[in-house]
């Protein structure tokens, strides 16, 4: 018996009155949607998670965290910043326990689940283990690394670290940092100093109330000569008392848009002395006598930096899934406006074509980001394992450098556009919940505030997108010189075949094949990259230097990066779906086509500009977006169910799996706001209501003044 | 001596070192920008404010509010919801004083200034004076109105009102509200009742802690018959004690995304009895014996409802100005990356073409919303004054109804797209401030959270945009029948001239004339409206009823509304500029052309789809957006200066007029986060750092268990 048959069977046993009551009951509405599943939901969960075992592990993690009293989340919207920060610190210890006792893979899964539940805590923990320990690993010599690990950097005994790179006046431009580290040969020490207000270390996570040590990025100065920005470990506080050490001044950065669990601070150093050995000397070395030895090759140190970006692509997919779980489930039970034939029963939001238009393309996009994030992670891991095994003289070094460049550029573009897409998804989901989206308890407002930082940290999105655009221009120029490019930009080796090409389909229906859209993206991207490169070369001809020329054509670079990244997302999604050999392929192909058609429509200006599609074809694509929205809408609840996020993780009454949204929402609001004494009736309201009315007006009495009548 | 000459003169007296120090000093950077003014800033302020007198009044208001200790705003990001709500109530009384003692125009200006400083308070005050008193004015008979005014509704003596329309399960669909008002003939009373959970009144501003009375919208039931939704005054609390009255249950809605100064609540009525006279009977009347007299003509009552929408168009312009004051001023002093020729001096953000691209179109859009808001206000006032003076039989009644329909539809589209534009402007400005945009103290995060509600309240934006699209379709169909349409949609009377028309300019430079873009918008809008109408008629032919047919083509309706509204904004901006006969015309024409070119580029898909512009022309427009961004950038600081928002109003260290952003920011962070005792070092951190390392691991001792060695 199919799900549809079961649904029909159930319906046949209802009286008209029961049917009507059932129809407005949100739980019945949700069950009705779930019964429509045309695929095996559990199987799709396994596919998304990367196998049955991975699903089981994730479910174990969800359960463990839900049961941990430290991770209670139901009151998170009503506690103060101070309470939130203290609670966040409490979780630290419990996580160390797991870190020490479980496998790396298990712990990674735990952190992935936590990042979706409590991003503020995830950041605070990540500051020590990701940024501080990461800085040690990237910059310390083997002996130095052992020293800091023995001091407790891994076990969090005797020290907690933070990462002090950004300054009040300096963010993206690391070589422009002002903090100085001057070698004092007499004492064999470095003097760490903040010379100006703008050199104040700023936004330093963990500095306000957690860290004993900082990895400080400062200008190395030896015998009056500057050697650029290096990394130094600087003790900040006495671990026994948490008193600030001499010359260290630290303050709290205070209230932020979100992630208030993390205690960002500012730091000023006033001639703080540290031993010479506290400069991390894996690359540049400073000897006892002040001889500076710089590395022969600029090391390929930025591989590790890419990890954060790749993680943010994956996170963009995950957070989108969470937001969509709320908005799509709410839309399946929320009813609004009855029509003439509905017997007074209001229509589900999800049945409105316009609501399908609002949510279904975003649902498809979440899948696109999922498939791309998975692929990007594999690409990063494979690149890193080759990089780790390689040494400068290796014959395949050139290939590895190409891989690194491609991963660098692709992850830059994806980080930018995926975090933007996710932030937009959250806001669209919030608005799709109508007025209730404005309540803190429905979860989307806080999600927006927590996520927003991803668009500016670890590389401002605009700057990253421009980097990606720069790579596209240089790839184009290399292709023109006959170089074979790496796969992601391989289409630029086929410029003659692509420039000027038009869509060749016989019938409009043939547009609904992924390969047509993939070719379309290649044609459009080849054109915009070529235009950007020609603009760049024109700038060079006009006498600009390379950097100025790139600045001058930055809008074209950004546009090229945008289109290339969208094309890439579709390409990876389509490729991922093509490899599936189960029944799931059917539904995922619909989702994939919706994504493809929608992104073409969104960028119709480019497809028409380069005449790949005719206006008539574009009109057909526009209408097919509607058709595909409806197809995906039909399976919308099974699709978000496949994300398999527990009610605890989603933490929104509107996103509850059972569909009983109003009861859960009312409960949450009552529990969070217990009725009590009026806080200020006697002080403020009563005197206002009972005031003497004359008191409010300016008296218009003459107050003894004798005045003559005005003459007329 | 011109400003440029003065600047040169100053520069000539500097030594190279002074010049370099000056160059990185943010105050000097700001002065440099201000000295570029090519127009009289004060004159532009007068133009924007509507005259010198209006500017002076606004400045007086800014000063009065800044000096009022109740309106202190520097600590607003760090106080709790409870403190914020109490402080908000405190301001109530001070405002009543002004309401009673100053002219309506002065008070309106005061409220306009306050709405930009403290939108939460503005809402709380507006709930009583705008919504509750407004409900009385729209629905009470003259005698009833006097009754409530005498009871204290105007003076806020003995009563505070709230507006109870929305229910937990019912928002936009007012006829679908569930709350009942059943006439009990025996007692000559109405029984107000909340029959279900979803009928709970929800989001009611002022209900939690302020209101004694509510204007309740409920289903009128007399002798078993339902007469639709009417308005009833229901006492909630005893004004002497604030105890809830029998049958009334009220709770606090709690934490929201923003505007926490307003105490939204929920209300459940359990057989609450009110006198028959508490039903407001301006329109429908219920007699002592239960005879219901319904009005002959459905009254034109929704004129007053439009006021809120028009105000939101104006507000979108104002809030955009505030956000842009911050981001543009910060961009004028923030420096990032040095280039090879800059002597180590980093480049101003504002000098990056990409940063100009991020902010200048939004600056132009703020002007477009300003001019359109001013015009929309005039249109609304003229419509209302004619409506107030008219009676049903008047010969010009048909024309007035047309005006009302046009104002209704135009304001619906403008409310939707202007609030969306403004929300986007805030977020783009926030991201343009880089990491600092994530700090609460820089103001943009809170501005986003406060403003976000405007996209869903007083008509959800999507629903309003669809209303506008419906009007466009029906206007098209009327035009086809030969009816002369009102000016805003007048282009639909010229379909033959517009459909299929292509841009006729000889040279590309001729595209830079407003009339070309205006014609382009008309051609594109005529096409999309026509397509939407044809799609609608196709649905009718396929047997759908009118409402279903409109739903089916909702995406086309939304698209038509979007393009029509963008075209309208440009049209009004260009019209406003064309009427200026001073030197200001020069700069405003540049701003206007930037807006026009940018919106064409943003909607290039439509302009290419209908082949008004060729791909080559579109490429030129794209490049001209860059050119115009640079032109406007040159005057960017003088332009935001002309908005004339005081530092107190802007309340962001990054938006300070003097440009001394880092000093102000550091001061604010220190003042808001005084250093003190560590809040939880002894309880949480010390035990973690000093813990016995073995304690963290699961013991791997055998604990007495005898085990045999595994055989290999």
B330, closest residue in chain A (CA to CA): A169
**Interval B624-652 mean pLDDT:** 98
Longest dimension (CA), chain B: 108
Residue pair B466/A354 in contact (Cβ under 8 Å)? The answer is: yes
Q: Which residues of A touch B681 (CB under 8 A)?
A: 209, 242
Helical segments of B162-276, H only: none
pLDDT digits (tens, 9 = 90+) for B662-681: 999 999 999 999 988 999 99
* Neighbour tally for B385: CB within 10 Å: 10
Euclidean distance between CA atoms B625 and B134, whole angstroms: 45
Contact (CB<8Å) B251/A673:
yes
What is the per-residue pLDDT across A321-370, written as a single tens digit (0 to 9) for each? 999 999 999 999 999 888 767 777 889 999 999 999 999 999 999 999 99
- Please indicate, yes or no, if residue A31 is contained in any of the structural domains: no
Nearest chain B alpha carbon to A605: B605
Res. B10: pLDDT tops 80: no
Number of domains in chain B: 2
Chain A residues touching B210 at Cβ < 8 A:
685
Q: Which residues of A touch B662 (CB under 8 A)?
A: 168-169, 197-198
**Cα A685 from Cα A668, distance rounded (Å):** 28
In chain B, what percentage of residues exceed pLDDT 70?
A: 93
Mean pLDDT rounded to a whole number for chain B: 93
Q: What are phi and psi of B707, to 5 degrees?
A: -125, 145
Range of the domain at B284: 161-296
Q: What is the CA radius of gyration of chain A?
A: 30
**pLDDT the model gives residue A510:** 96
CA quadruple B528, B530, B531, B533: dihedral, nearest 10: 120
pLDDT of A700 reads 60
Backbone torsions φ then ψ of A73, nearest 5 degrees:
-125, -5
Rounded CA separation A141/A130 (Å): 18
Contact between residue A557 and residue A467 where contact means Cβ atoms under 8 Å apart = no
Smallest CA–CA distance, residue B472 to chain A, in Å, is 17
Write down the mean pLDDT value for chain A.
Answer: 93
Asked whether the predicted pLDDT for residue B441 surpasses 90, the reply is: yes
Per-residue pLDDT of A430-465, as tens digits, reads 999 999 999 999 999 999 999 999 999 988 999 999
The complex's ipTM? Answer: 0.95
* B89 → chain A, closest CA residue: A684
Please report the DSSP string for B604-633 in residue order. Answer: HHHHHHTTSS-HHHHHHHHHHHHHHHHHHH
User: Which of A100, A256, A608 lies at the smallest CB-CB distance from B605?
Assistant: A608
| Chain A contact set for B334 (CB, 8 A) | 169
Q: For residue A37, what are the CA distances in angstroms to A52, A347, A636, A638?
A: 20, 20, 9, 6
More confident of the two residues B13 and A564: A564
Q: Kindly report, residue by residue over B289-316, the tens digit of the pLDDT.
A: 999 999 876 655 566 678 899 999 999 9
Q: Where on the phi/psi map is residue B220: left (φ > 0), alpha (ψ -120 to 50), or beta?
A: beta
Euclidean distance between CA atoms B30 and B662, whole angstroms: 13
Size of interface A-B (CB pairs under 8 A): 345
What the block records as the tokens of B273 is 């009895």
Collapse the DSSP code of A237 into the 3-class scheme (helix H, G, I; strand E, B; otherwise coil) and give the result.
strand
Segment A491-518 shows an average pLDDT of: 96
pLDDT in tens, A229-238: 999 999 999 9
A184, β-bridge pairs: A189
pLDDT in tens, A560-606: 999 999 999 999 999 999 999 999 999 999 999 999 999 999 999 99
Q: What is the dihedral of CA A402, A408, A411, A412, to 10 degrees?
A: -130
Residue-by-residue DSSP string for A504-546: --SSGGGGGSHHHHHHHHHHHHHHHHHHHHHHHHHHHHTT--H
CA distance B116 to B130: 17
Chain B nearest-CA distance from A489, in A, is 24
Looking at A642, A670, A697, which one is the last position of a domain? Answer: A642
Nearest to A86 among B81, B552, B679 (CB): B679
pTM: 0.96
Q: Which of B78, B430, B438 to mutate to test the interface with A (most CBs of A within 10 A)?
A: B438
Nearest by CB: B100 against A353, A455, A696: A696
For residue B453, give the 3-state DSSP assignment.
Answer: helix
**Which residues of B fall in the annotated binding site?**
166, 205
Stated as kind and residue range, the H or E segment containing B346 is strand B346-348
C-alpha to C-alpha distance for A56 and A553, rounded to whole angstroms: 50
Q: Please check whether residue A112 lies inside any domain of the structure.
A: no
> Among A99-103, A514-518, B276-280, B629-633, which is the least confidently predicted range?
A99-103
Q: How far is A702 from chain B (nearest CA, A)?
A: 17
Over range A212-222, report the average pLDDT.
98
Confidence grade of residue B22 (pLDDT, cut at 50, 70, 90): low
Least confident range of A153-167, A387-401, B10-24: B10-24
Residue A602: C-alpha distances to residues A424, B291, B525 (Å): 14, 57, 18
How confident is the model over A378-403, as a mean pLDDT?
83
For testing contact with chain B, the best of A177, A547, A555, A697 (most B CBs within 10 A):
A555
Domain end, chosen from B642, B657, B678, is at: B642
Is the residue at A702 inside a domain?
no
Is residue A524 domain-shared with residue A563, that is, in the same domain? yes
By the 8 A CB rule, do A349 and A336 touch?
yes
- Position A13 scores a pLDDT of 64
| A27-50 pLDDT, tens digit each | 999 999 999 999 999 999 999 999
Q: Which residues in chain B have Cβ-Cβ distances shorter than 8 Å to A689?
A: 152, 156-160, 212, 239
Closest CA to B643 of B324, B312, B374: B324
Indicate if A478 and A414 belong to the same structural domain: yes
* pLDDT the model gives residue B343: 74
Domain-embedded: residue A659: no
Q: What is the pLDDT of residue A21?
A: 66
Residue in B198, B339, B673 nearest the CB of A251 = B673
Burial class (CB in 10 A: 0-12, 13-18, 19+), A712: exposed
Active site residue B519: no
DSSP state of B279: B
Chain A positions in Cβ-Cβ contact with residue B242 (cut-off 8 Å): 678, 681, 685-686
Helix (H) / strand (E) element for A228: namely: strand A225-235
* Secondary element (H or E) of residue B215: strand B213-222
Give the pLDDT score at A1: 47
Q: Is the pLDDT of residue B7 over 60?
A: no
Q: Residues A385, A527: one domain? A: yes
Is residue B372 located within the same domain as residue B514?
yes
Task: Read off the CATH number of the domain in which A225 is found.
Answer: 2.40.110.10
Q: Which residues contact A697 (CB under 8 A, 6 or more apart)?
A: B100, B101
- CA dist B90 and B210 (Å) reads 12
- Same structural domain, A447 and A487: yes
Measured CA to CA, the distance from residue A589 to residue A585 in angstroms comes to: 6
- In this complex, do B688 and A352 lie within 8 Å of one another by their Cβ atoms? no
Q: Can you tell me the mean pLDDT for A534-552? A: 96
> Residue B509: which residues within 8 A CB-CB, separation 6 or more?
none
Strand (E) or helix (H) holding A464: helix A461-480
Q: Say if B325 falls within a structural domain.
A: yes
Residues of chain A with pLDDT > 70, as a percent, come to 93
Q: How far, in Å, CA of B469 to CA of B450, rounded?
A: 28
Q: Phi, psi at residue B531, to the nearest 5°? A: -60, -45
How far is A152 from B692, CA to CA, in rounded Å? Answer: 12
- Choose among B202, B552, B609: nearest Cβ to A353: B552
Shared domain check, A329 and A279:
no
**CA geometry: angle A20, A25, A26, nearest 5 deg:** 140
Q: Are B359 and B328 in contact (CB under 8 A)?
A: yes
> Same domain for B328 and B276?
no
Last residue of a domain, one of B296, B328, B353: B296
Res A385 pLDDT > 90: no
3-state secondary structure B476-496: HHHHHCCCCCCHHHHHHHHHH
Q: Are residues A228 and A338 in the same domain?
A: no
Asked, for residue B416, whether it belongs to a domain, the answer is: yes
- How far apart are the C-alpha atoms of A290 and A284, rounded to whole Å? 12
pLDDT tens digits along B400-434: 888 888 999 999 999 999 999 999 999 999 999 99
To the question of whether residue A205 is assigned a binding role by annotation, the answer is yes
Angle value at C-alpha B255, between B253 and B259, nearest 5 degrees: 100
**CATH code of the domain covering residue A495:** 1.20.140.10
Q: Say yes or no to pLDDT of B703 above 50.
A: yes
Query: Which residue reads 């986060």 in tokens?
Result: B673
Is pLDDT at A532 greater than 80 in this prediction? yes
The strand pair at B213-222 and A189-193 is best described as: unpaired
Q: For residue A215, list its beta bridge partners.
A: A163, A233
Output the pLDDT for position B691: 85
Question: Can you give B555-582 as a three-state secondary structure string?
Answer: HHHHHHHHHHHHHHHHHHHHHHHHCCCC
d(CA B426, CA B326): 10
pLDDT at residue B208 is higher than 70: yes
Same domain membership, residue A397 and residue A373: yes
Contact (Cβ atoms closer than 8 angstroms) between residue B405 and residue B471: yes
pLDDT at res. A12:
60
B415 and B559 inside one domain: yes
Question: CA–CA separation, B455 vs A468, rounded Å?
Answer: 34
**3-class SS of residue A588:** helix
Residues of B in contact with A203 (CB under 8 A): 435
DSSP-derived pairing of the beta strands B201-204 and B265-269? antiparallel
Residue A585 included in any domain: yes
Q: What is the set of active-site residues of A?
A: 458
- With cut-offs at 50, 70 and 90, classify the pLDDT of residue B564: very high
Residue B556 lies in a domain: yes
**Which of B458, B165, B546, B195 is closest to A24 using CA atoms?**
B195
Binding annotation of B for FAD: 166, 205
In the prediction, which pLDDT does B1 show? 47
Judged on CB neighbours under 10 Å (0-12, 13-18, 19+), A83 is: middle
* Burial (0-12, 13-18, 19+ Cβ within 10 Å), A579: exposed
Helix, strand, coil percentages (3-state) for chain B, rounded to 5, are 60, 10, 30
Q: How many CB atoms lie within 10 A of CB B669?
A: 24
Distance CA B226, CA B215 (A): 19
B271 and B314 together in one domain: no
DSSP label of B130 = I
Mean pLDDT of B27-37: 96
H or E, element range at B29: helix B26-34
Identity of the residue in A80, A168, A170 whose CB atom sits nearest the CB atom of B666: A168
CA distance linking residue A530 with residue B574, whole number of Å: 35
Tokens of B68: 């009022």
Report pLDDT for A208: 97
Q: How many CB atoms lie within 10 A of CB B387?
A: 17
pLDDT at B244: 97
Read off the pLDDT band of B647 (50, 70, 90).
Answer: very high
* pLDDT for the residue numbered A22: 64
- Catalytically annotated residue among B112, B402, B458, B611: B458
Asked whether residue A445 falls in the same domain as residue A586, the answer is: yes
Task: Give the residue from B161, B468, B555, B668 with the most A CB atoms within 10 Å of its CB, the best one to mutate.
Answer: B555
Instruction: Give the minimum alpha-carbon distance from B337 to chain A in angstroms, rounded to a whole number.
Output: 6
Provide CB contacts within 8 A for A362, sequence distance 6+.
Answer: A320, A324, A425, A428, A429
- Are residues A90 and B684, on separate chains, in Cβ contact within 8 Å? yes
């Amino acid at each position: 018996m199919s799900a549809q048959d079961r649904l029909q069977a159930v319906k046949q046993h209802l009286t008209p009155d029961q049917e009507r009551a059932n129809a407005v009951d949100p739980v019945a509405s949700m069950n009705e949607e779930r019964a429509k599943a045309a695929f095996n939901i559990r199987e799709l969960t396994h596919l998304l998670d990367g196998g049955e075992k991975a699903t089981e592990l994730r479910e174990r993690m969800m359960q463990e965290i839900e049961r941990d009293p430290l991770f209670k989340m139901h009151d998170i919207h009503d506690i103060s910043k101070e309470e939130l920060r203290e609670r966040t610190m409490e979780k630290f210890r419990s996580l160390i326990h797991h870190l020490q006792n479980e496998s790396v893979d298990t712990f990674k899964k735990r952190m992935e689940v936590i990042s979706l539940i409590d991003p503020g805590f995830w950041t605070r923990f990540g500051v020590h283990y990701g940024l501080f320990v990461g800085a040690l690993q990237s910059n310390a010599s083997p002996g130095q690394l052992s020293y800091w690990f023995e001091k407790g950097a891994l076990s969090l005994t005797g020290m907690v670290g933070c990462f002090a790179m950004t300054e009040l006046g300096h963010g993206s431009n690391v070589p422009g940092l002002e903090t100085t580290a001057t070698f004092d040969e007499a004492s064999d020490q470095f003097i760490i100093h903040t010379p100006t207000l703008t050199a104040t270390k700023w936004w330093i996570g963990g500095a306000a109330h957690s860290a004993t040590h900082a990895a400080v990025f400062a200008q190395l100065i030896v015998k009056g000569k500057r050697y650029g920005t290096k990394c130094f470990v600087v003790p900040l506080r006495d671990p026994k008392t948490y008193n600030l050490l001499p010359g260290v001044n630290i303050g709290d950065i205070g209230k932020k848009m979100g992630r208030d669990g993390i205690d960002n601070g500012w730091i000023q150093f006033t001639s703080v002395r540290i031993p010479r050995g506290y400069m991390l000397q894996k690359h540049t070395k400073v000897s006892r006598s002040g001889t500076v030895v710089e590395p022969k090759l600029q090391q390929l140190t930025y591989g590790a930096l890419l990890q954060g970006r790749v993680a943010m692509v994956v996170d963009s997919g995950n957070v989108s899934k969470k937001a969509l779980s709320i908005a799509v489930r709410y839309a399946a039970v929320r009813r609004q406006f009855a029509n003439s034939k509905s017997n007074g029963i209001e229509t589900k939001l999800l049945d409105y074509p316009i609501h399908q238009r609002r949510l279904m393309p975003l649902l498809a996009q979440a899948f696109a980001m999922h498939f791309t994030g998975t692929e990007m992670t594999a690409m990063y891991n494979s690149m890193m394992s080759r990089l780790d095994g390689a040494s400068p003289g290796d014959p395949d070094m050139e290939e590895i450098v190409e891989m690194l460049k491609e991963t660098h550029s692709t992850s830059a573009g994806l980080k930018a556009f995926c975090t933007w897409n996710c932030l937009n998804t959250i806001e669209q989901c919030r608005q799709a919940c109508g007025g209730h989206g404005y309540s803190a308890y429905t979860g989307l407002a806080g999600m927006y505030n927590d996520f927003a930082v991803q668009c500016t940290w670890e590389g401002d999105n605009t700057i990253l997108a421009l980097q990606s655009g720069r790579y596209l221009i240089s790839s184009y120029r290399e292709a023109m010189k006959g170089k074979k490019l790496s796969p992601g930009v391989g289409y630029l080796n086929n410029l003659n075949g692509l420039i000027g090409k038009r869509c060749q389909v016989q019938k409009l229906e043939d547009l609904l094949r992924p390969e047509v859209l993939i070719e379309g993206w290649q044609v459009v991207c080849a054109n915009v990259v070529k235009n950007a490169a020609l603009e760049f070369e024109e700038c060079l001809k006009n006498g600009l230097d390379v950097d100025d020329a790139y600045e001058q054509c930055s809008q074209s670079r950004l546009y090229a990066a945008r289109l290339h990244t969208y094309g890439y997302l579709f390409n990876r999604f389509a490729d991922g779906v093509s490899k599936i050999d189960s029944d799931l392929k059917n539904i995922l192909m619909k989702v994939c086509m919706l994504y493809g058609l929608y992104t073409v429509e969104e960028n119709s200006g480019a497809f028409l500009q380069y005449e790949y599609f005719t206006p008539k074809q574009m009109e057909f694509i526009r209408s097919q977006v509607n058709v595909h929205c409806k197809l995906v809408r039909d399976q919308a609840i099974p699709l978000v169910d496949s994300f398999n996020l527990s009610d605890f993780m989603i933490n929104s009454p509107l996103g509850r799996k059972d569909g009983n949204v109003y009861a859960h929402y009312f409960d949450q609001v009552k529990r969070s706001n217990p009725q009590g004494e009026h806080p200020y009736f006697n002080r403020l309201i009563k005197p206002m209501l009972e005031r003497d009315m004359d008191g409010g007006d300016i008296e218009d009495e003459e107050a003894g003044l004798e005045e003559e009548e005005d003459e007329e």
